[in-house]
Amino acid sequence: MRKIKENQAEPSRKGKRGLVKKSLLWFGVIVAVLLIGGFLFINWYVGRSLAVIEGELEVPVLSETVTVTRDADGVPHIEARSEADLYRAQGFVQAQDRLFQMDLARRQASGRLSEVVGDAALSTDQFFRSFSLRHAAELSYDGYGDEAKDVLAWYAEGVNAYMEAAEENGTLPFEFRILGYKPEEWTEIDSLTIGKYMAYDLGGNWSTLAFRHWATGEFPEDKARELFITYPENAPAIIEANKEQKVQVAGEFIDAPIPHPFNGSNNWVVSGDRTESGMPLLADDPHLGLGTPSIWYQMHLTSPEQNVSGVIFAGIPGIILGHNDEIAWGVTNVGPDVQDLYIEQPNPENPNQFLYEGEWVDAEVRDEPIGIKGEDPVDFQVVTTRHGPIISTTADGEEGPAFSMQWTALEPTLELQAVLNMNKASNWDEFEQALEDFHSPAQNFVFAAKDGTIAYKANGRIPIRKTGDGQLPVPGDSGDYEWTGYVPYGELPTVVNPDSGFIATANNAVVDDSYPYHITDFWAQPYRYKRIVEVLEENDAVTAEDMMALQMDQKNLYAEEFLDSMIATVRRGEKGEEFKEELDLLEEWNRVDDKKEAAPLLFHLWIKELPIVLFNEEMPKDVLGMFSGKNHVTDQMMRDAFGGDEGVWVSEYGGVEKWLTDSFSNVQQAVTKEFGDDLSKWQWGDYHQVYFEHPLSGASPVLKWLFNREDPIPVGGSQITVQAASYGPDGIVDHGGSWRFVADLSDLSKAYHIVGPGQAGHIKSPWYQDQIDDWVKGNYHETVIDQEQVTGDTLTLKP
C-alpha cells in the first residue's frame, strides 16, 4: 500500500519529462510573447516620430494656409501665399524629415558633439572650435541684408515650430532618445554655420600645406621637390622659412577630419545648336560623401514670388542647385588656393602675442569651454592672430612656431543672399549679378536659360598674394606675405555662348598660363573632363537621355594613358612571365570600369598600391593621410620614368620596373587571397560596393541592422570615371555622385533627379533608402514644378 501511495504521490519519469517539456514550451511562449511585444513596442515607439504627410496640422507661426504635397519619390512640393510662410514651411518640412541630421550637422560644425556623444568627440570639437566656423557664421550674419535675415528667421521659426510640437507630443526623432538628449532651439546662426561647414568640406588645402611643410624639413630638396605639383622655385625665402621654423605636424592632426581628397563634381551644359530639341540641356552631379540620410534634400518651393526646384543642405533655406521656370544651373568645385598657413612666432613671455614686423602683436583670445556628456567641461581657448586662428599646438607643450590659417570662409560672406537671388533669376544677367555674393566655397557654375543662353563662371573670392602662390606655409612675422585683395569679379573666368556649343567642368584646370591671376596648381586629374568632352563632341543632337547616360559613363581614360606602359614595364622584368595571365587580362580589357569585370579590380588596386609602396616606410601614417593628391605625384613620376627620366624617389626605390612589379605583386597576392586563384571569377563589384551608412550605425550591430537595412551593393565606375564612385581601403564606395540632375530647357516644367539613398531620414519612411538601386543603375525620377501636375499625399499646414 505504501508503494502504491508513493507511486500515486510521485509523478512517473515520463510524467516528469512531460512537465519539463510543458515548462519549456510555456517559457518559450512567454519569451516569444515578450520578444514580439518588445518588437511591437519598439516598432510603435520608432513609428511615432514618422513625419505626418497627409491631413492637417496646426503650425502657429504661419500667417496663412500652406500645402505640402509629397510626390511618389518623397519630394515635398510646398505652396505658400507669401515668402514668410514659404520659408517657415520649408523649415518645418525639413525638420519633419531630417531634424536629427540637422542637429548633428550644426553640432559638428560648431564643435559641440562631445555634449551628446562624450569625450570620443573631444578632439573633433577642439578642431572645429579652432577653425572657428560658427564664429565666422556670426560675423557673416551681421553683413546680410534685411531680406536674407528675414528668410533665416522665418526658416528658424518653422524648424522650432516642428520641434516644439514634437517635444510636446513625444514624437521627436528616436535618435535623440538613443543619445539621451533633446535638440535646442534652432537659430539663424545654425543655418549659416552649416553653410560654413560645406565651405570647409569643399574649399580646403590646409592639410596639403602642412604636409609640404613637413616634407620640406624632412627630406633633401630633390626628394621634397617631387612631392609638389609645382615646386616654388622662385620663393627661396619661403622654402628656407619652412626648413628653419619647424611646426609640429607628425602626430598633431591625427584625428583631424580632413575633407575627402576626391571632393568635386561634374557639370556641363549644351547649347540648342547641339541638341535634338533645339534648346539647351544642363547636367550636374556633385561628388560628396555618400551616407544615410543623403547630404542633399530635394524640394520644390512655390510662392507668388518664385517657383524653384532642386536640392539644399538640410538645415538651410532656399534651393542651392536646380532650376526655376526660366533657368537651370549646377556647380563643380573650383578648388582654388584659399587657405594659407602662416608660421607664427609666439612671444616667450606671452603666448598670446605673436611677432609681426618686429613687434609683438596681441592675438584675440576666446574662451570656449567644451561640454562633455557625463563629465566636467574642458577649458579651451581659440587664439586668433592677424592672419587667422591658430590651428596647431607646439611640440611637447613647449612654446615654438605654430600654424595660423587665413581662409576666405572665415571672413563675412553672403552665400545665402546669393542663393535667394539665384532662385528668382530669369536670365544670365540676373544670375551673374546674384553670384557676386557667392564668396565661399569657390564654385564652377554652369547655366542655361530658356532664351537659349548657356554660360559658365568660376565664382568666389580668390586671394591675390603680395608674395608667393599658396604652395607652402609662409612666415607670419613678415608683411611680405599678406593678401592684397581678391581677383576682381569681372575678371573671374567666364564663358558665355561659346562656339563649341557646350561648356564642361570636372574640377579640371579652367585657365591656362595666360590667365593673369593664380588660382591653384592642384587641379583634379583631367580624365572625367576629357571623357565628357569626348562624348559631347561626338553628338550634335544631344537628348536628356544622353545626358543621363553620360552621368553613368564608366570609361576609364586613366587606364588609357598609363596601362599599356605599366604592363610593358612589368613584362620586361623577371616576374613578367609569372604574371602573364593577369597582364594578358589587363591588356585585353576594354578600359571600362564594369562591375562584372576583373581588370578594373587589378588596375585600381595597382594604382592605389603605387604610393603605398613608395611612401609608406618614409612617412608616418598620419602625415601620409594629409598628403592629398598622392596619385597626382606618382602619375608624374611614372610619366617621367616612362620618358627615360627616373626621379629620385623611383631611383632610390630601385627603378620603375621594381616599383611597378612590387606593387603589382602585392595586389596580385591580395586579390588571390581574397577572391581565389580563378581569374575568371574575379569581379570589380565583388570589392567595389556602395554602402549608405547612417552615422549611428557603427555604435552596435543592433543599430547597424536598424539603420542600414541594405547590404553593400556591387557598383561600377571609380574615382576617375564620369560615374564617380570613390572607395576606401575596404572597397566600400562612400563618395560619389550624391545627387544627379538633368534639365531640358525645352520643358522646364520638370527635371530628372537621383538622390541616393533617398529623401527621408526616418527608417520607417518608404523614402528612407528607396533610391539605392536607382543610384546604382542610373534610374532617374521625374520631378515636376507645375503645381497642377503635382500629385501625392498632401499635408495642409494651418495657422
Is 340 annotated to bind a ligand? Reply is: yes
Q: Measured on CA atoms in the order 738, 742, 748, 750, is the torsion positive or negative? A: negative
Q: How far is the C-alpha of 690 from the C-alpha of 715, rounded, in Å?
A: 6
Burial class (CB within 10 angstroms; exposed 0-12, middle 13-18, buried 19+) of 739: buried
Q: Is the peptide bond before 441 cis (omega within 30 degrees of 0)?
A: yes
Burial class (CB within 10 angstroms; exposed 0-12, middle 13-18, buried 19+) of 22: exposed
Q: How far is the C-alpha of 614 from the C-alpha of 243, rounded, in Å?
A: 23
Concerning whether 726 is annotated as a catalytic residue, the answer is no
How would DSSP label each residue in 118-149? -GGGHHHHHHHHHHTHHHHHHHHHHHS-HHHH
- 265, 303, 392, 726: which one is catalytic? 265
Q: How far is the C-alpha of 488 from the C-alpha of 468, rounded, in Å?
A: 19
Is 337 annotated to bind a ligand? Reply is: yes
Q: How far is the C-alpha of 48 from the C-alpha of 58, rounded, in Å?
A: 18
Which helix H or strand E contains 458, and what residues bound it? strand 454-459
Strands 66-70 and 76-79: antiparallel
- Smallest CA-to-CA distance from 783 within 723, 739, 735, 737 is with 739
Find residue 327's DSSP bridge partners: 449
Q: Residue 451 half-sphere exposure, CB side, CA atoms within 13 Å?
A: 10
> At which residue does the C-alpha cell 597576392 appear?
669
Q: How far is the C-alpha of 799 from the C-alpha of 778, rounded, in Å?
A: 41
Q: How far is the C-alpha of 192 from the C-alpha of 150, rounded, in Å?
A: 13
Q: How far is the C-alpha of 690 from the C-alpha of 671, rounded, in Å?
A: 19
Which helix H or strand E contains 674, and what residues bound it? helix 656-675
Q: Which conformational region is residue 76 in: left (phi greater than 0), alpha (psi within -120 to 50 degrees), or beta?
A: beta
Q: How far is the C-alpha of 195 from the C-alpha of 772, rounded, in Å?
A: 26
Extract the annotated binding site for Ca(2+): 337, 340
Question: Which active-site residues does the annotation give?
Answer: 265
Extract the annotated binding site: 337, 340
